[in-house]
Amino acid sequence: LTTGFPLCVVADDRPGLLARVCIGLEALNLDVRDAEAYLRRRLDGRVEAVDLVWVRAINARANTAWNATESLAEIKSVLNVVVERHLEAGALLERVTRAPGNVGHTRISWVMAEGLLMGVDVETQDRPGLLLALAAALAHERLNIVRSVVKTMGKRAVDRFYFCELDGTAVGGERQGQIRARLLEVLGRPNIELGHEVRSA
C-alpha cells in the first residue's frame, strides 16, 4: 500500500536528475516513501523524466495529516532551483547523509533486463534519505537511471533501478563489482547478502 502525499515531477532528463529531486525534497524536510521514475520521448524528440514520488514530512507521525497542498508552491520553487542548478556527480554524493553503523540485513541482486538496460534490486533497512543515497551513488558511477520502482514496507525498503551508460550504451558486466561497491559505500556497513540474478518483471 503506497503511503504519503503524491507528487509528479516532470523535467528534461539529465544526469543525476532523480538525486537532484531527492535533494530538493530533503531540503523541504520531506521523506520519500515510495517512488516510480520513467523516461519518455516527446514529439520534439527530447527525452524527459517523469518521477512520481509519495512523500511524508520527516519526523511526522504516521497518522498525522500534512497539508501538502499549501506547500506546493514552495515545493515547485525549490525543485526548479535544484533541478536547474549545475551539480557534478561528486557534489551529489557529498549531499548524502551517511547511514548509521548498524543498518541491518541488506540484499543486492542484479536484474535481467531487456535491451541495453541493466537492473539492480537493493533491499535494506529504510531511513530518511535512502533514495537520495542510492540515486547519487548511481549518478557518481555515471549511470543514467531509465526506470525505477521504490517501495517502503514497514521498516524495510525495496528499491529497483534500471540504468544504462550516460551515452545510452549498455553497462558491461565487468562494472557490477564497481557499482555494488559504490552502493555499499552509501549504505554504510550492512550485513550484505548478494542475491541471485533475477528476471525483470
Q: Which residue has the cell 548524502?
A: 96
Give the global pTM: 0.83
How does the average pLDDT of the chain come out, rounded? 84
Residue 197 has pLDDT above 70, yes or no: no
Residue 192 has pLDDT above 60, yes or no: no
Q: What is the pLDDT of residues 27-44, one digit of tens each?
A: 888 999 999 999 999 999
Q: What is the pLDDT of residues 122-139, one digit of tens each?
A: 999 998 889 999 999 999
CB 17 within 8 A of CB 83: yes
Q: What is the pLDDT of residues 75-114, one digit of tens each?
A: 999 898 888 876 665 666 666 665 555 667 889 999 988 7
Could you tell me the domains of the chain? 5-94 (3.30.70.260), 105-199 (3.30.70.260)
Give the pLDDT band (50/70/90) at residue 201: very low
Torsion angle of C-alpha atoms 176, 89, 192, 116, degrees rounded to 10: -30
Round to whole Å and give the CA distance between 125 and 158. Answer: 9
Round to whole Å and give the CA distance between 70 and 162. Answer: 34
Run of H or E including 66: none
For residue 34, give every residue at least 6 positions away whose Cβ sits within 8 Å of its Cβ, in sequence order, or none: 2, 3, 4, 53, 54, 150, 151, 152
pLDDT at site 87: 64
